[in-house]
C-alpha cells in the first residue's frame, strides 16, 4: 500500500514539474542590449505609417519582458492593428517582431504570448505614433 502511494506521489510530482516547465514560456529578448541594435522602426497597419525609434533603450526594456509560449499561427484568424518592429542588428541581420496581442510573431513565426508584456509593447508603439 505504501509503495503504491509513493509511486503515485512520484508520478504526480513529475507531471507537475513538466507542466510548470512547459507553461513557463520563453523570453527570447531577455538578453537583448541596446548596443545590439543599429536602428529600429515600427510600422502600423492600420494606419500604414512607419516611425523611426530613437530611444532604443526603451524599446529593449519592453522587448525583454516579452514571453512566448507554444508556436501558434492561428493569429491569422484575428483582426486588429498590426504593430511591426524592424530591428537592424549590429551583425547586419534584421529581426522582425510583430505585436498582435495575444500573439507575438517573430520573423514570420507566430507564438502565443503572455498578455501584459505584449500589450505594453503595443501601447509603447502607439505612443510613438501619437508623438510622431
Residue 17, phi then psi, degrees to nearest 5: -60, -45
Task: Give the pLDDT of residue 88.
Answer: 98
Closest CA to 109 of 120, 96, 119, 92: 96
pTM over 0.85: no
pLDDT level of residue 109 (50, 70, 90 thresholds): very high
Q: How far apart are CA 8 and CA 95, in angstroms?
A: 46
Residue 114 CA, chain-centre distance (Å), reads 8
Tens of pLDDT, residue by residue over 16-61, are 655 555 556 899 999 999 999 999 999 999 889 999 999 999 999 9
Instruction: Give the Cβ contact number of residue 11 at 10 Å.
Output: 10
Domain limits, the chain: 26-131
Amino acid at each position: 500500500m505504501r509503495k503504491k502511494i509513493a509511486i503515485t506521489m512520484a508520478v504526480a510530482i513529475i507531471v507537475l514539474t513538466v507542466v510548470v516547465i512547459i507553461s513557463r514560456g520563453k523570453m527570447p529578448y531577455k538578453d537583448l542590449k541596446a548596443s545590439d541594435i543599429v536602428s529600429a522602426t515600427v510600422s502600423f497597419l492600420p494606419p500604414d505609417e512607419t516611425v523611426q525609434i530613437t530611444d532604443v533603450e526603451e524599446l529593449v526594456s519592453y522587448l525583454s519582458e516579452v514571453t512566448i509560449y507554444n508556436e501558434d499561427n492561428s493569429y491569422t484568424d484575428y483582426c486588429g492593428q498590426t504593430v511591426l518592429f524592424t530591428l537592424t542588428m549590429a551583425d547586419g541581420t534584421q529581426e522582425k517582431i510583430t505585436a498582435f496581442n495575444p500573439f507575438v510573431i517573430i520573423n514570420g513565426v507566430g507564438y502565443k504570448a503572455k498578455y501584459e508584456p505584449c500589450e505594453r509593447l503595443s501601447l509603447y508603439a502607439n505612443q510613438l505614433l501619437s508623438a510622431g
